[in-house]
Amino acid sequence: MKKNNTDFASQIIELKNIELSLRQRLIKLDRLSDGYDTEMEMLHNRIAIVLNEMIENPIVKK
C-alpha cells in the first residue's frame, strides 16, 4: 500500500501525541528533572526508527 501526505502527517501527529503524553506522565512523577529518563530515551529511539522508515519510503505523489 502506498502512503500519501495525509498518512504521513497523521503518523507524525500520533508520534508527537505519544511523546507529549509520556512527557506529561514523567513530569507528574518528577522523572524529567534528573537528566534523560530511560523510558523517554526508549520512546525517542522507537520514534527515530519510525521516522527513518518514513524517510526511506517517501510519499508517492498523486
Instruction: Tell me the pTM.
Output: 0.81
Cα separation of 50 and 44, whole Å?
10
Which pLDDT tens digit goes with each residue over 40-54? 999 999 999 999 998
| Predicted pLDDT of residue 3 | 65
Check whether 55 has a pLDDT greater than 80: yes
pLDDT band at 7 (very low <50, low <70, confident <90, very high): confident
C-alpha cell at 28: 507528574
Looking up cell 528533572, which residue turns up? Answer: 33
DSSP result, 1-62: ----HHHHHHHHHHHHHHHHHHHHHHHHTT-SSSS--HHHHHHHHHHHHHHHHHHHSPPPP-
Domain ranges of the chain: 5-56
Compute the average pLDDT of residues 26-45.
94
Name the residue with higher pLDDT: 10 or 6.
Answer: 10
